[in-house]
Structure 1
Amino acid sequence: MNPFGSMTHATVYIVITVCAFLILAVRANPFTIAGSFVQEIFTSRKYLLHFTAMITILFFNKLEMWVEKGMKYRADFTGAIYRIEGNFVANIQHWFHQDLLTYVSSYFYVVVFPAVMITSIALYTYQKNYKLFYAICYAIMFNYMIAIPFYLFFPVNEVWSFHPNVKLLILDVFPTFEQDYRPLSGLDNCFPSLHTSISVSMAVIAVQSRNKFWKYFVPCSSAFIIFTIFYLGIHWLSDMCAGVILGVVAARVALRIAEDRLVLGEHALMQPFNKNEY
């Protein structure tokens, strides 16, 4: 029996995993935490704008695929990457391949990756840690905005589709992966790895959290997700290296902007009201 029969199954696992993460992180009812998120959406225009901007940027990857189909530019840098890296990914698959690891890696790639993003947003909102919430929004936007031009003008195909000795192992667990997941990310949207960059950004931001479980768990999950991109036969080493750099830079810039915005907001609130100005 395949645990991932469809994206519907994957979505159910994501919801369950998010609830589990929230319980482990704050020992609170996930519905209470969800309620704090809904409250912020309806009571804070600033919160709503940031959340909406972040959700909007997630659709840009779909837009990129549509734009790419209409472009006459047809470069392919996969061969160049292969000549540099050789059998790096193939060796990792060969050394570590076992059924249990395939299941766990697929779970982290498909479920834990989005669950960490969702939990981060819910957790920072519930704790009213707006600096980290805004940093999450900015980091995700920066990751996509910087990655998408590379997908358009520096296309690199996934390893399994090019290397004769690499298999897309996720199909052993999620047989409909190509039909269900592929519309979310093109086959040549490889460099840089967004699974790597966003995971790294989440980790860099999480270590700033006051929550002990989250500040240690997210970096560990990020490291394992980086392993899965190789083990499952999806990304090249170059994709990972570029993703790590992008993730760190995006997170640091996002944290700086979020902190500056909070300081400006507090400064504005502290300004005395001068009726002569009106």
Structure 2
Amino acid sequence: MKNLELKEGELDDVVVGEEDLVDLRKQARWLAVARVNTKKPFSSEALFETMKYVWGLAHEPELREVDDNLFTFKFFCLGDWNKVMHQGPWLFRKLVVVIAEYDGMPRPAEVPLNNTTVWAQIHSIPELYRNQRVVDQLAQRVGRVQSVEMNHQRWFEGDYVRVKAVIDVTKPLIRFAPLNLPGGRMLLHVKYEKIGFFCDVCGIMGHDMEECGDGIHPPEAIQYGKWLLAKRRVAVGGPRQFRAQGPGRDGGRGRARSRESRRSREGCRRSSEETCIG
């Protein structure tokens, strides 16, 4: 295109003044650019409907497809913006939706879309080293740290600290946080809470091992696996059971509550496949 000569009509500029720019910037508040971390095709309509459902926002967002697997999201209040941008990561069909802030100035394709937020756990830190200074340094091995929770409700199995960090989806997941002690190196196991699916061979999110290279790998090539996933604790006594009672006691409402409970649990399972909220 550098050899093209502009004609007269192509030199008639549209001028955007300073006053116009102030108004345009105000209208462009709460914008984001996004892509799904996959190379496979998918329906943009399915993405839009899924994300609007799992976000449950106060105002209907404007979701626009810019190019193949490239989208702009516009929100209309600070609460919706904060929820989407800060309560992720979000998943679509178990794939990470990579979202970045966008001021509307560059073309959407020029915005880097490689980083996502994850909740990770660093397990079995010896009590002597379980202090903020040491843990903060361990957390930096996972990614760019946003927060560290030393004391938290134990929704998952094991003895761990929680780390919210930004990671690069084009790089392998961190499996261990190394702690160098006078007696030698200790590898502390890192686990992830409901992360998008990843390859058991290369550890990169967005594809599985059968899609990595030619898909054929010897057993020793398997360097990652489900052992990197945090496992939820089972409540003592198991889930609460609803006892169905006959019409003589409550008119059959016991059975209705039981069916409602099953539907609720099934809905939660379906929802967990679509989204992950930290």
TM-score by length of 1: 0.21
More strand by share: 2
More helix per residue: 1 or 2?
A: 1
Q: Give the number of the structure whose alpha-carbon radius of gyration is greater.
A: 2
